[in-house]
Amino acid sequence: MTAASTSTASPARKIGWLRSPSLVAGGIISATITSAALLSFLWTPYPPLAMNMAQRFQPPSLQHVFGTDQFGRDVLSLLMTGAQSSLAVGVVAVAIGLVIGSALGLIASARGGWIDEIIMRMCDFLFAFPAVLCAVMLAAALGAGMGNAMVAIGVYNIPIFARIVRGAAAGVWVREFVLAARTSGKSSTHIAIEHVLPNILDIIVVQATISFATAILAEAALSYLGLGTQPPTPSWGRMLHESQVFLSRAPYLSIFPGLTIVTMVLGINLLGDGLRDLLDPRYARER
């Protein structure tokens, strides 16, 4: 094809961050739920764990915006407090995956050869253990709990970060400024932290948002199974588990926690998409 038609491919558009609707929408949703979680440390409409048998199964009303559960607890207050567990598990799990995975990816890209091969085979191997399976094993070995959920989801994220960092870093190690740093005698560790890492930070940040969203989904699933956050600490997944018995009697008990999870995950994913467009215009056109 001639240049007359190739020139029709639209040039990568620069997206000002206010002009990215997904970034704005995702940011607002994520910020709102995070603020609600933080606020719940200081204040909730009702004490989240206070039972009130006179107020059981109240449908949504002005007093109880999302209604009350089988113990008369205020669902909104439970949801706000439950956000703490979700966010905590998400943050720690992503941190585990990010730190260990990025380190492995950096080492693999820096050393190459058999070290690279071993690390990548290990990652392939970890892929055979989805987060839920990991959690099941840990729960069987160490007992169920929030900490084990964090570790399980974290371990699941390690190979994801390792692969992405390795792929992105490989391109940086051959750039001029890295070669220059090498010839000036700096150690690989030094170069990795000082030069390579800052150049792939955008990719890591985007992956961290995506992983955060999947971590929240995984935490909810584990808590639903009783393998995550333990009672009496409120959590979204367990609220859904407890509500299932009352599905026909009080459907709103199942609907609001579910909607909260969907909204949160949607918000973080939108934020991730927006960030990717913002940080890396190369990806802005497709997907």
Partner 1 sequence: MALLQVQDISISIDRPEGKVGLVRDVSFDIQPGEIVGMLGESGCGKSLTALAILGLLPEGMTATGEILFKGANLLTLDEPSLCRLRGNRIGLIFQEPMTTLNPMMTIGDQVMEPLRLHRGLGRHDARAEALRLLERIRLPSPRQKFDSYPHQLSGGQRQRVVIAMAIACKPELLIADEPTTALDTTMQMQILDLLLDLTDETDTGLLLITHDLGVMAEMTDRILVMYGGSIVETSPTADLIASPAHPYSRGLLRAIPQRAPGSDGWLEPIPGTVPAPAARPQGCLFRARCPIAIAECAAHRPELRDILPGRSAACWVPIIHGRTGDA
Partner 2 sequence: MNRLLLYRLASWALTLLAITVIAFLVLEILPGDPALVLLGPDAQPDTLEALRQQLGLNQAAVVRYFEWMSGLLRGDMGTSYTYSIPVSELIGSRLKITIPLAVLSTAIAVGLALVLGMYAAARHNRVGDYGVMAVTQIGVAIPSFWLGMLLILLFSLTLRWFSAGGFPGWEAGLWPGLRALVLPAAALAIAQAAVLTRVVRASVIEVLNQDFVRTARAKGLTRAQALRRHALRNALIPVVTVIGLQFGHLLAGTIVIENVFSLPGLGRLIFQSINQRDLMVIKNVVVLLAVIVITVNLIVDLLYLVIDPRLRHAS
Phi, psi of 74 (to 5 degrees): -75, 120
DSSP class of residue 127 equals T
Write the CA distances from 211 to 67, 100, 235, 238, integer angstroms.
32, 14, 19, 21
Write the CA distances from 171 to 119, 164, 184, integer angstroms.
18, 12, 20
Q: Which stretch binds partner 1 (CB under 8 A): 1-9, 97-105, 168-176, 188-196?
A: 1-9
Residues with Cβ < 8 Å from 238, sequence gap 6 or more?
223, 224, 226, 228, 229, 231
How far apart are CB 39 and partner 2 at their closest, in Å? 23
- Check: CB of residue 280 under 8 Å from CB of residue 206: yes
Map the footprint of partner 1 across residues 205-244, applying CB under 8 A: none
Does position 121 interact with partner 2 (CB under 8 A)? The reply is yes
Does position 225 interact with partner 2 (CB under 8 A)? The reply is yes
Give the C-alpha separation, 53 to 63, whole Å: 16
Binding to partner 2 by CB under 8 A, coded x per residue (else -) over 234-263, reads: ---x--x--xx--xx--x--xx-xx--xxx
The residues facing 68 across adjacent strands are 74
Does position 7 interact with partner 1 (CB under 8 A)? The reply is yes
Write the CA distances from 240 to 19, 33, 269, integer angstroms.
37, 18, 22
Does position 248 interact with partner 1 (CB under 8 A)? The reply is no
Residues with Cβ < 8 Å from 265, sequence gap 6 or more?
213, 216, 217
Give the C-alpha separation, 84 to 233, whole Å: 10
DSSP tally for the chain: helices H, then strands E: 11, 0
Does position 286 interact with partner 1 (CB under 8 A)? The reply is no
Map the footprint of partner 2 across residues 170-189, applying CB under 8 A: none
How far apart are CB 73 and partner 2 at their closest, in Å? 19
Does position 8 interact with partner 2 (CB under 8 A)? The reply is no
Q: Which stretch binds partner 1 (CB under 8 A): 5-13, 173-181, 262-270, 275-283?
A: 5-13
Does position 5 interact with partner 1 (CB under 8 A)? The reply is yes
Peptide bond into 232 cis (omega under 30): yes
The residues facing 74 across adjacent strands are 68
Q: Which does 225 bind (CB under 5 to 8 A by kind): partner 1, partner 2, none?
A: partner 2
Give the C-alpha separation, 145 to 14, whole Å: 45
Map the footprint of partner 2 across residues 135-164, applying CB under 8 A: 136-142, 144
Nearer to partner 2, 46 or 256 (CB): 256
Give the C-alpha separation, 22 to 20, whole Å: 6
Nearer to partner 2, 97 or 237 (CB): 237
How far apart are CB 282 and partner 2 at their closest, in Å? 15
Q: Which does 3 bind (CB under 5 to 8 A by kind): partner 2, partner 1, none?
A: partner 1
- Check: CB of residue 148 under 8 Å from CB of residue 227: yes
Judged by CB under 8 A, the number of residues near partner 1 is: 7
Does position 54 interact with partner 1 (CB under 8 A)? The reply is no
Residues within the interface to partner 1 (CB under 8 A): 1-5, 7-8
Residues within the interface to partner 2 (CB under 8 A): 121, 124-125, 127-133, 136-142, 144, 213, 217, 220-221, 224-225, 227, 237, 240, 243-244, 247-248, 251, 254-255, 257-258, 261-263, 265-266, 269-270, 286-287
